Structure formats: C-alpha cells, structure tokens
Amino acid sequence: MAFARRDLRLRYVQTQLGWLWAVAQPLILIATLTLVLGRVFGLPAEGLRQFGLNLAVALPGWIWFQFTVSQGAMSLVANQALVSKAAFNRTALPNSKAIVGFADFLVGSAVVALGLVLMQEAQALALLRLPLVIAYTALASLGWAYALASVSVRRRDFLAVLPVLLQALFFISPIALPSANFAPVGWGIFYWLNPAVAMADGFRWAWLGWDVWQPAHAISAASGILGFVFGLLALRWGSRRLNEFL
C-alpha cells in the first residue's frame, strides 16, 4: 500500500485538472469514437445511442486494464535501484499500479453510472454484478503485468513495443461493440484466448444486464484466470535472479 499511496500522490502532480483527467479521458474517447465511427458506418441516432452505451460501459474497465499492464510491466525496471537494494515482495510494485488504475476506474465508473441514470438505463442489480467483473479485470490485468514485468527485466525491448501491442489489442477486443460470434476453432481460438473479451462483455452484462454470453466466453475467462496464475509464478521465479539483470 505504501507504493500505491506514493503513486496516487504523484499521479496528477503539476497538472491543472488533477483528478478531472480521470473523467476527461473516457469522455473524450467515448465522444471521439462514437462520432467518428458513427459517421464512418452511417449509424442513425438510435444506432449511435447503442454504440455509445456499448463503448461507455466497457471503456473504464479497458483503461484500467491497459494502465495496469503497461505501468505494471515497467514497474520493476523503473524502480531498479529499490528492487536491487531492498527485500520486499516484488508483486507489490505491479499491485500499486493496479490500485492507482482502480482509483481512476472508480471515477470513470461514477460518470458511467450518472450517464446511465440520466438515460434511464441504470439497473439496481449492477451493484451485485459489478464486483465479479471488477475482480476478474484485476486478476487478468495483474497476470499480464506480473509476466511482462518479469520478462522486461531481461528483455527491455518488450517495453518499447508494449504500447503498440496494447493499442492493437484495443481494436481486436470487443470494447466498442459486443463480441463477435467467432467459433472457437482455427484462428477463432486466438480471439477467445483474449481475456479482454470476457472483461468487456462482462461489464455490459454487469451495467446493462444484456445477455451477451456465449459458451466460448468460458475460454476467455479461463485465459484471464490462468494468466494470473502463470504471471504470478513467473514473477516469483524470476525474482530470484532479478539483481543479475538490474
């Protein structure tokens, strides 16, 4: 928690808007993508409304996921002086990034909740469903952060290409629209191995109560949970030799 408190204090230091950036970021993305893609596809007013809903409920979770993975992956390298000299659980550094990202997620989710109330789309059961999806998002993102943090200590090229990979993942994940009905065979299996598929559709189910589930969602959910286990083991195993590479 000490690392998280430090990162939270430094998150918006010397910015004019401070925590308002946590509100501005998803709003700007939602407005931009809705207007641009809506014009590209020629969506009518009701289509724009549905597109905006799809995007709005999934985007805060994606921003949290992306932040945790990107910042968690570089957390060991960025704190190499501390890591090489002090004895502590190495998962604390990626965990602190997840906590900081979760704070932004809460702010963004409050904006989503307000918007759903104004649009008369809010559901009381969302309060019961959201914790499940939030827990899954935390596990899935931390699994990637742990694994990439361990790898990036040895192969720092990963940190250079990671932003590009995450941007590509955004476009092949169902962030703006519900998941495609790909059969989990052949190339389709790679789509369902993406943990962000279960995450994005999970937030649609949690916020809006939409029946978005397909049997293949179990593959995506399992990949996120197993990824957490693998990432945790990778970081713990790699921690034994971190000082050789820092």
pLDDT per position as a tens digit, 73-87: 888 877 776 666 666
Inter-residue long-range contacts of 220-224, CB under 8 Å, 24+ positions, other chains counted: 220/192, 220/193, 220/194, 220/195, 220/196, 221/136, 221/195, 223/192, 223/193, 223/194, 223/195, 224/136, 224/139, 224/140, 224/143, 224/195, 224/198, 224/199
Mean pLDDT of 148-160: 81
Could you tell me the pLDDT band of residue 240, with boundaries at 50, 70 and 90? low
pLDDT per position as a tens digit, 187-201: 788 889 999 999 999
The pTM of the full predicted model, rounded to 2 decimals, is 0.86
pLDDT score, position 11:
61
